[in-house]
């Protein structure tokens, strides 16, 4: 039997309509008119049709079909429905329809009266489907059925003010919240899914509002290799210029920008803005230009140097829990890139190009990064891709 149909359904006493068919649970309030009766029959026929043929996951098709009916006025304007999908639930809410996980304080309702159709993961605790009461009836409060009693609507159409879709009691252990639910349903996902819409904590109109800064100069034209230097941090270094005037590390054999041999350089030791020294290429492909110093960690913003803009924060996420809030620092000194472990709890590992052995850094002791050096911090890793190829 499909998992959805193993769940018990408790009906809350009342005068709305609760319907359960294979793979589907509905709470609705049809109008007290012939049109209302007709709309209810249309929906019940749709549910019955969807249940025919033993379809395991009617939620996908049902959600779309029901939305169309509601939008054309052929189905009751107030309803809450959940239906099985392959790995969760399809939810349709219209009018006063809402779903809630009371034990977690979650509630999802229609906003602005629009029909909502969405797919969600299984909630980690019993799911209530109900309809907001008219103002005259509010405050009367419908008592929840005692959970210990073995109420269960297996199939059929009955009166009720709401329905609670729960998990069956575990045959082997003390019942607990979420027992029997698929383990793949991440709690955070459901939390996010059922979070009520709330206005943004901060918002600013864009359309029709002029920028504060006024007109800017157009981008320069034409562009030459000089803009590499301009995009650096402003730190000045001494080096040699290649034939095309790109400033290079005095140890480099080839220009980092145009690739020509530095043997053809001007031979004059000059000072200029330091160009980016390379890239940090992470295992997921994200790449960061080494034109400034960085602080890597779980919460680098706790560091005063980040708050004051002296270090750029580079937040590392992982699920292993071994990355410290301030884990490691990337420091640019002249033409060198230095890596420093900030006394992290679980260390920073490095391996030189082609090496298979990882070494742990001594906290607080800077290590000069060599081209293609690999760094591992918790589950994350990155490679230093040097542009200048200094030995």
Partner 1 sequence: MTETEGQLIGRSPPTGQGVPASVADYEVQQVLGHGDSGRVYLACPPNRLERAEQFVAVKQFNGPCLDSAYDRAVEELRAVSALRSPYLPRVFEAGLAGGSFFYSMDHIVLGSLAAPGRRLSQTEVLLAVSHAASAAHALHEAGIAHAAIKPQNVLIGTRCALLSDIGLGRYLRPGLTLTGAATPGAVEYVDPSVLRGASPSRSSEVWALAATLHRAVAGVGIYGELSDDEPLAAIRKMMSTKPTVAPHLPPDIAAILQACLDPADQRIFTAAELAHRLTELARAREGISGG
Show the site string, 82-111: x = touches partner 1 by CB under 8 A, - = not.
--------------------------x--x
Distance set, CA 40 to CA 17, 267, 269 (Å): 9, 89, 87
* β-sheet bridge partners, residue 241: 247
Nearer to partner 1, 79 or 115 (CB): 115
User: Does 32 sit near partner 1 (CB under 8 A)?
Assistant: no
Please check whether residue 61 is in contact with residue 50, taking contact to mean a CB–CB distance below 8 angstroms.
yes
Nearer to partner 1, 171 or 183 (CB): 183
| Binds partner 1 (CB under 8 A): choice among 288, 332, 341, 369 | 288
Give the C-alpha separation, 242 to 256, whole Å: 9
Give the C-alpha separation, 178 to 41, whole Å: 34
| Binds partner 1 (CB under 8 A): choice among 38, 41, 118, 261 | 118
* β-sheet bridge partners, residue 272: 237
User: Does 225 sit near partner 1 (CB under 8 A)?
Assistant: yes
Distance set, CA 98 to CA 79, 112, 352 (Å): 8, 13, 58
Q: What are phi and psi of 41, to 5 degrees?
A: -65, -40
Whole-number minimum distance, CB 283 to partner 1, in Å? 8
Tokens of 194: 């059922």
Give the C-alpha separation, 290 to 312, whole Å: 11
Give the C-alpha separation, 338 to 352, whole Å: 14
**Through-space distance between the first and last CA atoms of the chain, rounded to whole angstroms:** 67
Judged by DSSP in three states, 100 sits in strand
Which range, of 3-11, 53-61, 149-157, 208-216, touches partner 1 by CB under 8 A? 208-216
| Binds partner 1 (CB under 8 A): choice among 135, 148, 173, 207 | 207
Which range, of 5-13, 35-43, 76-84, 273-281, touches partner 1 by CB under 8 A? 273-281
List the strands of the sheet with 97-101, edge to edge. Answer: 9-12, 162-165, 127-131, 97-101, 106-109
| Binds partner 1 (CB under 8 A): choice among 2, 180, 250, 313 | 313
User: Does 121 sit near partner 1 (CB under 8 A)?
Assistant: yes
Return the residues of window 319-338 that contact partner 1 according to CB under 8 A: 319
Nearer to partner 1, 30 or 275 (CB): 275
Return the residues of window 152-191 that contact partner 1 according to CB under 8 A: 186, 188-191
Handedness of CA 289, 292, 295, 299 (dihedral sign): negative
| Binds partner 1 (CB under 8 A): choice among 314, 328, 340, 390 | 314
Nearer to partner 1, 47 or 79 (CB): 79
| Binds partner 1 (CB under 8 A): choice among 284, 304, 356, 391 | 284
Nearer to partner 1, 13 or 186 (CB): 186
Nearer to partner 1, 258 or 360 (CB): 258
Whole-number minimum distance, CB 127 to partner 1, in Å? 14
* β-sheet bridge partners, residue 100: 107, 128
């Amino acid at each position: 039997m499909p998992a959805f149909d193993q769940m018990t359904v408790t009906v809350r006493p009342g005068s709305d309509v609760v319907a359960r068919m294979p793979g589907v649970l509905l709470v609705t309030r049809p109008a007290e008119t012939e049109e209302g009766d007709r709309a209810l029959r249309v929906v019940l026929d749709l549910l019955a049709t969807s249940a025919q043929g033993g379809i395991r996951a009617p939620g996908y098709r049902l959600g779309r079909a029901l939305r169309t009916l509601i939008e054309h006025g052929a189905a009751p304007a107030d309803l809450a429905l959940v239906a099985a999908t392959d790995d969760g639930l399809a939810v349709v809410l219209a009018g006063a329809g809402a779903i809630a996980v009371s034990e977690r304080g979650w509630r999802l309702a229609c906003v602005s009266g629009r029909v909502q159709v969405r797919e969600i993961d299984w909630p980690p605790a019993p799911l209530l489907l109900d309809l907001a009461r008219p103002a005259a009836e509010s405050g009367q409060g419908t008592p929840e059925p005692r959970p210990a009693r073995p109420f269960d609507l297996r199939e059929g159409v009955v009166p009720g003010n709401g329905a609670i879709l729960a998990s069956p009691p575990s045959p082997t252990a003390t019942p607990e919240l979420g027992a029997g639910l698929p383990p793949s349903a991440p709690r955070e996902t459901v939390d996010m899914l059922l979070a009520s819409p709330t206005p943004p904590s901060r918002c600013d109109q864009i359309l029709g509002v002029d920028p504060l800064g006024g007109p800017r100069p157009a981008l320069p034209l034409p562009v030459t290799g000089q803009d590499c230097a301009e995009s650096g941090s402003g730190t000045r270094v001494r080096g040699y210029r290649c034939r095309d005037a790109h400033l290079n590390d005095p140890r480099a054999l080839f220009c980092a920008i145009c690739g020509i041999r530095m043997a053809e350089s001007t031979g004059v030791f000059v000072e200029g803005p330091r160009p980016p020294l390379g890239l940090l290429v992470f295992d997921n492909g994200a790449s960061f230009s080494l034109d400034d110093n960085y602080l890597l960690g779980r919460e680098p913003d706790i560091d005063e140097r980040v708050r004051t803009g002296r270090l750029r924060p580079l937040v590392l996420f992982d699920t292993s829990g071994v990355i410290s809030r301030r884990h490691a620092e990337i420091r640019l000194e002249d033409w060198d890139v230095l890596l420093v472990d900030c006394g992290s709890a679980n260390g920073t590992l490095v391996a030189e190009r082609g090496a298979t052995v990882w070494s742990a850094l001594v906290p607080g002791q800077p290590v000069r990064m060599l081209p293609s050096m690999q760094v591992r911090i918790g589950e994350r890793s990155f490679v230093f891709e040097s542009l200048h190829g200094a030995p």
